[in-house]
A and B are shown apart, each in its own frame.
Chain A
Amino acid sequence: MSKETTAAPAKEKIPKEPLFSAKNKRLLYDPLNDNNPITVQVLGICSALAVTVKMKPAIVMALAVMVVCAFSNLIISLIRNIIPNRIRIIVQLTVVAAMVIIVDQFLKAFVFDVSKQLSVFVGLIITNCIIMGRLEAFAMANKPWPSFLDGIGNGLGYGIILVIVSIVRELLGSGALMGFQIIPESLYKMGYFNNSLIIMPPMALIIVGIIIWIQRSRNQKLIESK
């Protein structure tokens, strides 16, 4: 897992208000590219791939992870000084599990069909390594507000990859986006077929591999040594 110090300089100028200082803004923007949880830190891949066949579940999943990540970071950061070191994993898991239960009940109440599609993967947010990783690496050592921002930033970084993968898969696999038909009917009449291979789970891995390839050839400092 890469450290926070590998960050690139933030593009924004320092604003007057202290809540969004340059350092805090970097916490938000960094995970989008240079320190992306999926393509750089290799965290949270488990759920990222299984929910990306369609765009809608992917967006719901990304929001759910963002909420859980931000609030569990906040809570752990608030109580970080009173957690006994030996049992901290169980404490962290309990906090995360409580957050996930709230999110799960919320999804079941308001977007039941999406919650059915996501099936066990909402529950698996508990063991999503992004959340545990950020708790261990950031929230245990930082103040509540930066931790909260870090949670939102990493949730966004996770979400952006999810959305890219799901756009590719839904557009090529079903010719639609968010359930609306994009590829016109006339094209199908001319002999265009949806690529049914891309709906299969393995293609998600290959698409993420290609995203990593593109990202690293644009951003040379991420290339791994041999």
Chain B
Amino acid sequence: MEHLNIFIKAIFIENMIFAYFLGMCSYLAISKTVKSAIGLGLAVTFVLSISVPTCYLLEKYILKAGALQWLSSDLAAIDLSFLSFIMFIATIASIVQLVEMIIEKYAPALYSSLGIFLPLIAVNCSILGGALFMQEREYATLGEASVFGLGSGVGWFLAIVALSAIREKLRYSNVPAPLRGLGITFILTGLMAIAFMSFMGISL
């Protein structure tokens, strides 16, 4: 039950885009068509659900204060948490590289549909954001951390697909020229985020 709560919360209430604005850059840039939005959304979900548990293990067994106790009791006093940024980003960058190579080898069809999006993900703020939120909220088990990663990914996926669907329809409407493109997309995202705020009342 606890896991389901975290999952639902990560998708709707603490949605990466509408509550924290993480991964906005690629969200705005790649939401012009539904097809590419789905590709990027899948890739982000995939990488988030792998990288958050990995960072959790890293945090628990290497970085936290006293985490090195499993190596030897002399190391119990060491606190490496100031290194977490550099460790997390290095992990994420290498996971993205690894995932890219694995998909290229075993699922060429998926690779060609994700294409250029995979390398872009290393610098998508939502991935590092997921890892840092996991660290800040101190999830108790590996299961909780993985469910949180998957949930945030699904939330991001939903958000980008929804926006791209709206933008495809928007092509037929007459937007004032200075607002065209970027401006109206910002306002749209704001309105969608207001709509998502209605989930905030739900307590899980």
Contacts of A42 in B (CB 8 A): 25, 28-29, 182
Contacts of A224 in B (CB 8 A): 180-182
Report the bound CA distance from A104 to B19 in whole Å.
23
Q: A101-B82, A224-B182 are in contact. Are A206 and B190 (CB under 8 A)?
A: yes
Does residue B33 face the partner (Cβ distance < 8 Å to A)?
A: no
Q: A129-B123, A213-B179, A216-B178 are in contact. Are A200 and B194 (CB under 8 A)?
A: yes
Does residue B63 face the partner (Cβ distance < 8 Å to A)?
A: no
Report the bound CA distance from A145 to B28 in whole Å.
32
B191 and A202 contact, CB distance less than 8 A: yes
Does residue B70 face the partner (Cβ distance < 8 Å to A)?
A: no
Q: Which of B119, B122, B179 has the most CB of A within 10 A?
A: B179
State which of A200, A203, A212 has its C-beta within 8 Å of the C-beta of B182: A212
A90 and B90 contact, CB distance less than 8 A: yes
Q: How many residues on chain B are close to A (CB under 8 Å)?
A: 52
Does residue A176 face the partner (Cβ distance < 8 Å to B)?
A: no
B85 and A123 contact, CB distance less than 8 A: yes
Does residue B187 face the partner (Cβ distance < 8 Å to A)?
A: yes
Report the bound CA distance from A65 to B18 in whole Å.
23
B89 and A46 contact, CB distance less than 8 A: no
Which residues of A6-64 are within 8 A (CB) of B? 39, 42-50
Report the bound CA distance from A119 to B132 in whole Å.
9
Does residue B65 face the partner (Cβ distance < 8 Å to A)?
A: no
Does residue A142 face the partner (Cβ distance < 8 Å to B)?
A: no
Does residue B125 face the partner (Cβ distance < 8 Å to A)?
A: yes
Chain B residue, CB-CB nearest to A205: B190
Which residues of B176-200 are within 8 A (CB) of A? 176-187, 189-194, 197
B180 and A223 contact, CB distance less than 8 A: yes
Q: Mark B123-155, 1 if CB is under 8 A from A, else 0.
A: 111111100110010000000000000000000
Which residues of A128-153 are within 8 A (CB) of B? 128-129, 132
Does residue A94 face the partner (Cβ distance < 8 Å to B)?
A: yes
Q: A42-B28, A45-B28, A97-B86 are in contact. Are A208 and B186 (CB under 8 A)?
A: yes
Q: A89-B93, A202-B191 are in contact. Are A127 and B86 (CB under 8 A)?
A: no
B21 and A45 contact, CB distance less than 8 A: yes
A107 vs chain B, min Cβ distance (A)? 13
A3 vs chain B, min Cβ distance (A)? 16
Determine the main DSSP class of A at the interface with B.
helix
A209 and B190 contact, CB distance less than 8 A: yes
State which of A50, A104, A124, A209 has its C-beta within 8 Å of the C-beta of B183: A209
A89 and B186 contact, CB distance less than 8 A: no
Report the bound CA distance from A205 to B83 in whole Å.
32
Report the bound CA distance from A203 to B193 in whole Å.
9
Contacts of B21 in A (CB 8 A): 45-50, 201, 204-205
Q: Mark A73-92, 1 if CB is under 8 A from B, else 0.
A: 00000000000000001100
A98 and B86 contact, CB distance less than 8 A: yes
A124 and B22 contact, CB distance less than 8 A: yes
Does residue B23 face the partner (Cβ distance < 8 Å to A)?
A: yes
A127 and B28 contact, CB distance less than 8 A: no
A128 and B86 contact, CB distance less than 8 A: no
Does residue A189 face the partner (Cβ distance < 8 Å to B)?
A: no
Contacts of A48 in B (CB 8 A): 21
Contacts of B22 in A (CB 8 A): 46, 124
State which of B28, B132, B176, B184 has its C-beta within 8 Å of the C-beta of A120: B132
Q: A46-B23, A94-B90 are in contact. Are A213 and B123 (CB under 8 A)?
A: no
Contacts of B158 in A (CB 8 A): none
Contacts of B177 in A (CB 8 A): 216, 223
Q: Which residues of chain B have a CB within 8 Å of any CB of chain A?
A: 18-25, 28-29, 82-86, 89-90, 93-94, 97, 119, 122-129, 132-133, 136, 171, 176-187, 189-194, 197
CB-based closest 4 A-B pairs: A209-B186, A205-B190, A224-B181, A202-B193
